[in-house]
Amino acid sequence: MSGSGAPQLKVSAVGKKVFVVATSWHTHIMDGLKLGALRELEKAGAAVEVHEVPGAFELPLAAKWAFDQGADAVIALGVVIQGETPHFDYVCDSATSGLTQVQLQYGKPIGFGLLTVDTEAQALERAGLEGSKEDKGSEAVQAALHMLSLIS
């Protein structure tokens, strides 16, 4: 889900356990992503647990752990900003592929709130902060809860 034209999905999550796994890099951006996700989860009535992980590479294992703990859905939040080396490509690919594998393995939704951007300014535009154009934390929750309602 991205940018203009993104749907505003409203799904109840009452009685559902949702884990938010969030990276610890770029705290200002992450604060916005987490707040957006938590606001949306509160509106939906979900029982929520928030857990921090070191970085984006660790998100798939954290999602697997969350499902092992009984989560009905996971919201994976993070930000990876392009640097001068191919490290960006490896981390983004590993995190994305890993989250996809976990989602398919468990048959449960993962809200993909991992920003993979070229610049900090692009991340800020998507972080759901005051003045941001988008709220990817909120969108990740909406997508996961919509999928949860579909498969439940």
Residues marked as catalytic: 87
CA angle 44, 11, 63 (to 5 degrees): 75
* Angle formed by the axes of helices 87-106 and 59-68, nearest 10°: 20
- Give the contacts of 67 (CB within 8 A, at least 6 positions apart): 74, 102, 106, 108
Report the Cα 36 to chain-centroid distance in Å.
10
Residue with tokens 């999905």: 9
Task: Dig out the tokens for 133 from the structure.
Answer: 């154009």
Identify each DSSP E strand in 5-152 by its residue range.
17-23, 47-53, 73-81, 110-117
The answer to whether the CB of 111 falls within 8 A of the CB of 141 is yes
